[in-house]
Structure 1
Amino acid sequence: MRTTRSQQLVDAIIELIDQRQLCAGDPLPPESRLMAEFDAARNSVREALRTLQALGIVEIRHGYGTFVGDASMTALSPSLLFRTRARSRDDLRGLQDLLEVREILETELARKVTGDTALLEDLAECVEQMRDPARATAADGRFHERICQAAGNELALELTRLFWDVYRQTESLIGTRSDSLVVKHERIVSAISSCDDAAIRRAVRQHFDEVRQRIAAVDRVAAHGQR
């Protein structure tokens, strides 16, 4: 019953934020008012607020009060990283799942930004920076972020950042890249420039093919070792 009551309070506080149209940074009522409004014990209210803080929905500033958070997707990073690593220990299924979601998302976003000449110039600049090993990783991240920004989808931008960060932290499971970042991303730029849906799908798929090949190689080694 404790878990049920805690979840009820979590839902109630979220509804309160919505009903009062509170924005990120706005203060929430103090604990005493939340206790009275929801007829709840102090410990139950604090437990609900800690849950919401872990989700990025509220921000607890000790000595100042509780405020509406920005609900950033980064709050999900630890759980997604744990899930991906945990599921990938035996058969790399978690990493494959992450890769598949990234490919679906990035294919559709790339299809939305065809004809954007400013974007193409920015992407080409990112590709040039990838030629420098010291700047390659950061340029890779910016490349994918710029496509999301040009598509005008803020949620997709946050998800892409989240997936990209988690992938970078799990990539060690399959070793280092076997081909050039430049070549993979040049194909995407060319495909977006062509305004050809089929070319875009093909370029994005090829972008992830090299990772799939590394996953398959690791799986083959693991299967051989079990014989």
Structure 2
Amino acid sequence: ALVFHVAVIYWLSQNPTPALPVVPPEIPPMTIEFSQPAPPVVETPPPTPEPVVQPVVEPPPPVEDELAVKPPPPKPIPKPKPQPPKPVFKPAVKPVAKPVEQPPAPPVPAAPVAAPAPPAAPAPKPVTPASASAGYLRNPAPEYPSLAMRRGWEGTVLLRVHVLASGKPGEIQIQKSSGRDQLDDAALAAVKRWSFVPAKQGDVAQDGWVSVPIDFKIK
């Protein structure tokens, strides 16, 4: 046994003990508690002593002396009658009439300047109608148709002649027939060769119309 212990000591001396790992010491968690401050101590005032109620001693009722003369009761003082309120007359306020705004008067249009009157037209000169009476002596008489003469036809032809400014006949119209074509045709043929006095306005000759009667009578 001694040899075993010596061998163990020798072995331990030859083989040093390995170093143990350093373990930091564990720090236990710290818990901090905040305590509220104690409320201040309010001193309670001593209770107010209740007041001592003195007993009310009622005086004894007075003894009425029946023989004593009682004073007469006081007369009631009449209350004054209330006066009716006086009516207050307020002066009537007359309504103030508002001035009525008159609409603005329309502008008066300026009177138009009258244009100068045109010069008065000269009085028209008198018109002298055409005439054939002055030329009757120079105008040949119409030929009496032989058939009408043999049969004894008579009549009057009224012609309407358009007399030119030159005095020559223009258009010739039968205004009224004689009732016989031979007499009407003889009147037309004769008047076409006639000359007339033309119509005039003042001294100026102009066209005009004239009625010419032609009589056919057997003597």
The alignment's TM-score, normalised by the length of structure 2, stands at 0.15
Higher strand share: 2
